[in-house]
């Protein structure tokens, strides 16, 4: 006998919604998973669980008896801000995707682009365009200090992967963390102390009211001369004008940006043409459909067995 209906609420293109529906139905054979558009008002009132992928908050509010929603994305800041824009707290719990495959993918991207900077690839690319043959000094990984802002599941694995590849790794989070081989800092004083040591600074923080434009001129000026910056988190965490200023005045050597406040990035945006910026189309850690479906299904199965909710976000903190 099937359990109550589970709604799939999404603004993705219909073919993608159908593909997700087929996958989730296969992984949840004892559940009745349906697209939101196929549910009547009465059926929506019966839903205690929803699976969401970029949902319309207005549509989600129609599920007045919802107990919890499983997101298929690791980042939920955009949804949280829309659901709490009037300072109210939704009645249901929101579970973000915690997927080991996603963490592996992010750590792979972090290592890839740290190596890109470590081996001076931006300099050589600029030289190629000018037909300049010039070699630059080589530094050992242990001579390069890399700092990671954000030590959640993604940040922790990324820090460990960098450490395994010989880099001197530092990490910062709002609360105290312990990671073998990584020197960890917390709170504001710890943030400044860490940043002052970093040749490469990587942002993996969630976007919240406390991290909005956290990376501004006051923070960037504490980086050593010639440092580089990578943002794989959210565009709103960086004060763009301050970042450009520190690139243009030579304080920073390069920035790799994978996330922006407006996506896709406007074709007229100055980021595209800046010779000290590498623009990426939000590719650092894409959701792996098969793995994400398995994680979501297991969370729902465990809830049916134990009535215990998966780890969910704090609406006030935003993560």
Burial string for 233-246 (b: 16+ CB within 10 Å, else e) reads bbbbbbbbebbbeb
Sign of CA dihedral 187, 259, 99, 116: negative
Q: Give the separation between CA 240 and CA 94, rounded to whole angstroms.
A: 30
In the block, residue with structure tokens 């299904």:
297
**3-state SS class at 296:** helix
> Which residue numbers are catalytic?
234, 282
In the block, residue with structure tokens 């159908």:
18
Q: Give the separation between CA 296 and CA 290, rounded to whole angstroms.
A: 10
Q: Residue 295: name the closest of 312, 308, 285, 310 by CA.
A: 310
For 163, list phi and psi in degrees, rounded to 5: -60, -40
Q: Does a cis peptide bond (omega within 30 degrees of 0) precede residue 264?
A: yes
- Pairing between β-strand 168-173 and β-strand 183-186 as defined by DSSP bridges: parallel
What does 41-95 look like in DSSP terms, one character per residue? HHHHHH-SEEEEES--HHHHTT-TT--EEEESSS--HHHHHHHTTTS---SSEEE
Q: Residue 141: name the closest of 104, 166, 106 by CA.
A: 166
Q: Give the separation between CA 224 and CA 235, rounded to whole angstroms.
A: 23
In the block, residue with structure tokens 């820090």:
159
CB contact at 8 A, 197 and 145 = yes
């Amino acid at each position: 006998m099937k359990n109550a209906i589970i709604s799939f609420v999404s603004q993705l293109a219909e073919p993608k919604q159908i593909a997700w529906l087929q996958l989730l139905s296969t992984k949840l054979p004892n559940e009745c998973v349906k697209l939101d558009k196929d549910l009547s008002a009465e059926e929506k009132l019966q839903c205690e669980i929803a699976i969401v992928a970029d949902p319309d908050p207005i549509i989600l509010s129609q599920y007045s008896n919802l107990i919890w929603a499983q997101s298929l994305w690791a980042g939920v800041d955009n949804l949280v801000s829309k659901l709490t824009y009037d300072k109210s707290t939704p009645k249901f719990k929101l579970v973000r995707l915690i997927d080991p495959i996603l963490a592996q993918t992010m750590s792979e991207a972090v290592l890839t682009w740290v190596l890109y900077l470590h081996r001076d690839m931006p300099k050589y690319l600029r030289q190629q365009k000018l037909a300049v043959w010039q070699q630059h000094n080589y530094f050992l990984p242990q001579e390069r200090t890399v700092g990671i802002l954000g030590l959640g599941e993604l940040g922790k694995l990324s820090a460990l992967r960098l450490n395994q590849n010989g880099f001197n790794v530092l990490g910062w989070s709002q609360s105290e963390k312990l990671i073998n081989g990584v020197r960890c800092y917390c709170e504001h004083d710890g943030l400044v102390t860490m940043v002052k040591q970093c040749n490469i600074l990587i942002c993996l923080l969630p976007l919240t009211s406390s991290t909005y434009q956290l990376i501004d001129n006051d923070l960037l000026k504490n980086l050593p001369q010639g440092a580089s910056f990578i943002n794989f988190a959210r565009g709103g965490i960086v004060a763009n004008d301050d970042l450009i200023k520190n690139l243009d005045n030579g304080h920073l050597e390069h920035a790799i940006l994978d996330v922006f406040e407006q996506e896709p990035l406007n074709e007229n945006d100055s980021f595209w043409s800046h010779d000290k910026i590498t623009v990426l189309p939000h590719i650092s850690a894409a959701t792996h459909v098969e793995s994400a479906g398995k994680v979501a299904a297991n969370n729902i199965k465990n809830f049916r067995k134990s009535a215990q909710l998966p780890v969910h976000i704090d609406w006030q903190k935003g993560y």
